[in-house]
Every structure is written in structure tokens, then in C-alpha cells.
Amino acid sequence: MRIKRNSPLFGILKLFNVNLPDKNIKYFIMFGSSNNSFFSNIPVVTRNILFINLIIWGACNFINFPLAEILALHDLRYGGFYLYQLITYQFTHIEFVHMFFNMFAVFMFGRVLENYWGSARFFTYYMITGIGAALIQLTIYYFQDVPAIMIGASGAVFGILLAFGMIFPNAPLMIIPFPFPIKAKYLVIGYGLLELTMGISNRSGDNIAHFAHLGGMLFGIVLILYWRKKNGNFRTGNPWRQSWTKKITNLFKRKPKMTVHRGPENDWDYNARKAEESKEIDRILEKIKFYGYDSLSDAEKKKLFDASKK
């Protein structure tokens, strides 16, 4: 897909500091520092999602202006709906607890997915699941009698949880108050069933958009299955690994001629270095699969982050 420079999508990608693969263009904003601070070690899209949500939360609470009402997603039937709200509602929170737990989930799981997929694919996934959550909830609002509005990143967050559970199904997660680890795939299934039950029960006084959460998961699974079919790889979005069937097939293929690389090192050294780098990335990904992202050392996180930018 080619992105025109004067298109709205190009402007959004520019804001989020996303690499455009066709021309390898990178844009920096005020949060794109290259130093070795804590925030600079968080992948760029995840980092900017955190900052933008924090800034908008502060503006909604400390500026005497109805910003939240303007950015929130409004019911189609009662006026006040604008197309831009499909995006802006995702970055809008009023209560600190609501914002904190959503952003904590983005920080914990979003950075792993961004390192795994790369910034452009993670950005696409985050926005599509957020918009999908809005479309599902707008459909529910349409058949209800009470006017409502929606804010918060929860729809996209549930999409992130779904993706993490599908890509790292056996990753152990410690969830309060349980004193034992729960595999990611069971956590995702449990969350989905809980949201479905809460949404159908429609309890009085419940102001949580449960169907938006399910919408984020629904659009997430559709997008991941589409990428799997398109890429032909079992492990979606992994640029370093191949499916086991493809590896076996490659054993019987005629080997291509060695590529000549001009530079300070000879061809044998270059190929040996690339092979070692690929093995190291595979090792790091396996470690994430079984022990989680937080088990990585700073050096391993840097290697994975650098590889995702290539």
C-alpha cells in the first residue's frame, strides 16, 4: 500500500514516528530522543501512545475547556458524532485510574508486540482494533434507548491482550490476587468470556462498554488471521523465523549463489556474522515465549529493538 504525503494517514504516521518501508522515512517528535533513558528504551509507538494519553488526560482535568466531550465517541442517534472521534476517543480519559490501568497494559504488552512485529504493523493493529471496538459499541448504542458516549483505550487494549495471547500463548502471567502464574491463552479466554457475560447481562448502573472490549478482540483476531494467511507463516509478523514446513522444504532447494558484499569484511565473515545475529534473535524470541519480555536483559532488549528497525 502506498501512502500519499498529503493523506491523513501519512500525518498520523508522522506523528507516531513510524518508519515508512517504501522510502525508509523516519520522523521525530519531541518524545523521539535517542538517549539511553528509561523512555527511550520503550519502542516508539508504545512510547508515544503513553505520552499522548497522559497529556490528554492532563488537559481534560486541568484546563477549563470541554475537551473530553469534543474527543469522546458520541452516539449516532443523538447528534454530536464526528468521524474523527473514532480515533480521538481512544486517547481520552478523565479518571486517572482508568487511564493508568489502560496505559499499564499498553506498556506491559504493547512494547512486546511492537518489538515482535515492528512499529508500523503494531501501529496498524492498535488503530484498527480501537476503531473496530468503536464500531461495535456504536452498533450496540444504536439499539439502546439511552444516549451515551465512550472514552478510553480499553478496546485497543483488549486487542493487544488478544494478540499477546495468540502469539505467546504459554507465557506465564502473574495476575493479582492469584498466587500462581496463568498462561496468556487462558487469561485471554477468561477475559473474553467475562466481558461477554457482563455485556449480555447489561446490569443497571454498569457504565463499562463491554462490547467495545469484545469488539477490539474480534477485530484483533480477524486481523491476525488475515496476516497469517497473507504471510503464509504460522507465527504472525515474525520477520526472523519460518514455519517448520518451510524450513524442511528449504533443505531440498538449490542453494543460491553467495551474495557479494563490499566493505571492510570479506563475504565469509559477513555471512557468518549475519547467521549469528539471526540465531541470537531466535534465542531472544524463545526466551520471551517461555519467560516473558521482562526476563530479558537490557542488552537483549536493545538487540531486539534494533532488529525490529531493520
Within-domain flag for 214: yes
Is-contact 128 223, C-beta < 8 A?
yes
Q: What three-state secondary structure class fits 150?
A: strand
Range of the domain at 285: 244-308
The answer, yes or no, to whether residue 23 has pLDDT greater than 70, is: no
Within-domain flag for 77: yes
Note whether 73 and 190 are same-domain residues. Answer: yes
Listed ranges 128-137, 145-154, 287-296; the one with the highest mean pLDDT: 128-137
The answer, yes or no, to whether residue 247 has pLDDT greater than 90, is: no
To which residue does cell 498520523 refer?
12
Note whether 96 and 209 are same-domain residues. Answer: yes
**What are 227's strand-pairing partners?**
none
The answer, yes or no, to whether residue 234 has pLDDT greater than 50, is: no
The per-residue pLDDT for 88 is: 94
Note whether 137 and 278 are same-domain residues. Answer: no
User: Which of these three, 204, 231, 258, is where a domain ends?
Assistant: 231
The answer, yes or no, to whether residue 3 has pLDDT greater than 50, is: no
Share of residues in the chain with pLDDT > 70 (%): 69
Note whether 202 and 294 are same-domain residues. Answer: no
Confidence of residue 27 (pLDDT cuts 50, 70, 90): very low
The answer, yes or no, to whether residue 145 has pLDDT greater than 80, is: no
**H or E element that contains 74:** strand 73-74
pLDDT tens digits along 93-144: 999 998 998 898 899 899 999 988 989 999 999 999 999 999 998 888 888 7
Within-domain flag for 238: no
Note whether 205 and 170 are same-domain residues. Answer: yes
Confidence of residue 239 (pLDDT cuts 50, 70, 90): very low
pLDDT tens digits along 156-189: 999 998 999 888 888 888 777 777 788 888 888 8
More confident residue, 255 or 38: 38
CATH number at residue 113: 1.20.1540.10
Within-domain flag for 68: yes
**H or E element that contains 119:** helix 119-142
pLDDT tens digits along 45-73: 999 999 999 999 999 999 989 999 999 99
The answer, yes or no, to whether residue 8 has pLDDT greater than 90, is: no
The per-residue pLDDT for 144 is: 76
Q: What is the mean pLDDT of residues 189-207?
A: 69
Rounded to an integer, what distance in angstroms lies between the CA atom of residue 50 and that of residue 55? 9
Within-domain flag for 3: no
| 286, burial (CB in 10 Å: exposed 0-12, middle 13-18, buried 19+) | exposed
More confident residue, 39 or 25: 39
Note whether 152 and 252 are same-domain residues. Answer: no
Note whether 158 and 213 are same-domain residues. Answer: yes
Note whether 144 and 255 are same-domain residues. Answer: no
105 secondary structure, DSSP code: H
The answer, yes or no, to whether residue 17 has pLDDT greater than 70, is: no
Within-domain flag for 236: no
Note whether 297 and 188 are same-domain residues. Answer: no
Note whether 96 and 137 are same-domain residues. Answer: yes
The per-residue pLDDT for 160 is: 92
Note whether 34 and 135 are same-domain residues. Answer: yes
> Where are the strands (E) in 133-252, listed by range?
149-150, 172-174, 181-183
Within-domain flag for 2: no
The per-residue pLDDT for 221 is: 92
User: Which of these three, 197, 231, 265, is where a domain ends?
Assistant: 231
In the chain, how many domains are there?
A: 2
Within-domain flag for 73: yes
Q: What three-state secondary structure class fits 20?
A: strand
Of 82-96, 194-208, 212-226, give the lowest mean pLDDT range.
194-208
| 206, burial (CB in 10 Å: exposed 0-12, middle 13-18, buried 19+) | exposed
Note whether 178 and 36 are same-domain residues. Answer: yes
User: Which of these three, 231, 264, 285, is where a domain ends?
Assistant: 231
pLDDT tens digits along 249-288: 455 455 555 555 555 666 777 777 777 888 888 788 877 7
